[in-house]
Amino acid sequence: MTEIRDSYPISESHPMPGKTATAIRFREIGLLSPIFLVGLLLGAGEVQAGAGEEWTQPGGDMAGTRYSELAEITPENAGKLRMVWNFSTGVLGGHEGQPLVVDDTLYVVTPWPNVLYAFDLTQEDYPLRFKYRPDANPAAIGIACCDAVNRGAVHADGKIVYNLLDGRTVAVDAKTGQELWKTTVADLASGETLTMAPLVAGNRVLVGPSGGEFGIRGSLKALDLETGAIVWQMRNLGPDTGMGVKQETFKPSYPPAPNAGTDTWAEESWERGGAPVWGWLSYDPALDLVYYGTGNPGPYNAEQRLGDNKWSASVMARKPGDGSLVWAYQFTPFDNWDYDATAENILVDLEIDGRVRKALVHFDKNGFAYALDRATGEVLVAEPYVPVNWATGVDKTTGRPLVVPEKLTGKSHGLVKNICPTLEGGKGPSAPAAWSPRTKLFYVPTLNLCMDWQSADAIYVKGTPYVGATIPYHPGAGPHLGGFMAWDAAAGRKKWEVNERFPVWSGSLVTAGDVAFYGTLDGWFKAIDANTGKPLWKFKVGSGVIGAPISYRGPDGRQYIAVYSGIGGDWSLVAGDVNSADPADVRPPTDFAPDLARYTSQGGMVWVFAL
């Protein structure tokens, strides 16, 4: 049975609890922690299930679960959470992504100019250990599609590795802040920027460019972790040879004809067909596969690129060693609606139809929640998690959506009204879900918006927008514009949902204490019971939350929760007057959320909470 809740006011927290006695942590006295022992028992080849005392990966672990094994904070005591520290990043842009915690240091990466802060958690007030300022190119700001955001860093081999908006990947010594290497991986002049968080698999740093609205040809690159040298590059569309497709290793569950990356595009439209990489990556060491989603095909006027447009709007499974493509699955063939598939791919084992399957769970922009076999790409479950009307379902035999012809777009279709969900998605790809091995549920931020769509001819000019559509939004059914839900991916159904006044664009966190965390666009950071959805606590963080929370154990032995605030991304473009630093920015608010700017303005902050 699905339970729907409205978010309701509860008592607000008040800052600054008293100091607690310092506790000795397992690693400080050289003992094997229970978490490490579990890892030894499982074996090095198993997908890591959750973050422990630290948070070293963008998604907490290589599987992208955003699950913390810490359990001090529970539904019984979450109402006693207090703010213990905050810090202004000095940057107004949208603060997506999440901090890292490695040993006793908190790392924060800002939007452009992509400053890296390192804070000392062992001292009162968390003073800076170092501040790394890259030579960021300001030209990137005008090229970035949807705000100059950054989705975070990764720690590996004593390095903090992250991307600069201007198309470079940088590695910094995690102890000293010294720049170790910096490599150009994107072509700013062509409309490519870097906003995604890298993933490290073995000695490979995996990165890919944004730019689907600029007619780029998307790709994934692997850099050497030690030197930053580019080891390989594989395209997401084009001839098989450039995509790493080999007859002996490419074995998808729904095999296409050879050279599908060219032959499913009208004429040579694949050469500027998009399929960028701006979302999240995950890795299964047992299968030795890296998973990532590709973005929209370009331009938005679908009649300029007739065909399935493979492999845009797809998930790709590659070997990190040489980049070879093992399988690919396209969520939205011939994407008419800008349904990027760049959302997270969470790797978990699920019992489906009485059989335990190695699954990949993905909440697509197109409104369907998928569970795929992560070894082959077979569709195991595909059900709508938000209202969907562009398709009636997904045929698991073919893997294809059952499209409603009346919702197809293109110049000849004129104005197509009331398509649900919007191009922002049923869930925003930059707002990752979380999974709990305790509840077996996924915790998902959602949007309740629909759109009208009118296409026009787009003209390609290198380095300029290549779009060709006008797309106004309007609210979906009901008084709410978003929510936060618990989803049973094995059954393909919702367990409960908390409705929110505005779209929910923050990431999610769930802990072993059975508490889930998320933030709202009007500047609230909230804790809810992971089993029931009951609100437990909330705190006003000023600006809207579009980042993802993390959890870690501090040097004093306590569990902490950290999150960014700082509205931006698409929402700074539609909220109206939220940038008071720009006297010319007095745009009217969007029709579907006309009062959002009454509750929030831009301004980046880092917040830390504890009992």
C-alpha 57 chain-centroid distance:
13
Strand, helix or coil for residue 243: helix
Looking at 61, 213, 514, 570, which residue is catalytic? Answer: 213
Q: Distances in Å between the alpha carbon of 212 and those of 199, 232, 424, 457, 466?
A: 21, 21, 14, 16, 8
303: DSSP letter: G
- Residue 149: which of 114, 190, 191 has the closest Cα? 114
Asked if 353 is an active-site residue, the reply is no
Looking at 163, 236, 296, 499, which residue is catalytic? Answer: 296
* 582, two tokens: 């720009």
- Residue 116: which of 138, 134, 91, 103 has the closest Cα? 134
Question: Other CB atoms closer than 10 Å to residue 322's CB: what's the count?
Answer: 14
- Residue 521: which of 7, 43, 1 has the closest Cα? 7
Asked if 296 is an active-site residue, the reply is yes
d(CA 142, CA 122): 40
Looking at 338, 364, 522, 570, which residue is catalytic? Answer: 338
d(CA 314, CA 435): 22
Asked if 556 is an active-site residue, the reply is no
d(CA 482, CA 171): 37
Task: Say how many Å lie between the first and final Cα of the chain, rounded.
Answer: 33
Strand, helix or coil for residue 405: helix
Sole residue written with tokens 């102890």: 175
Question: Other CB atoms closer than 10 Å to residue 166's CB: what's the count?
Answer: 25
Q: What is the DSSP string of 461-478?
A: -TTS----EE--EEE-SS
34: DSSP letter: H
Catalytic residues: 213, 296, 338
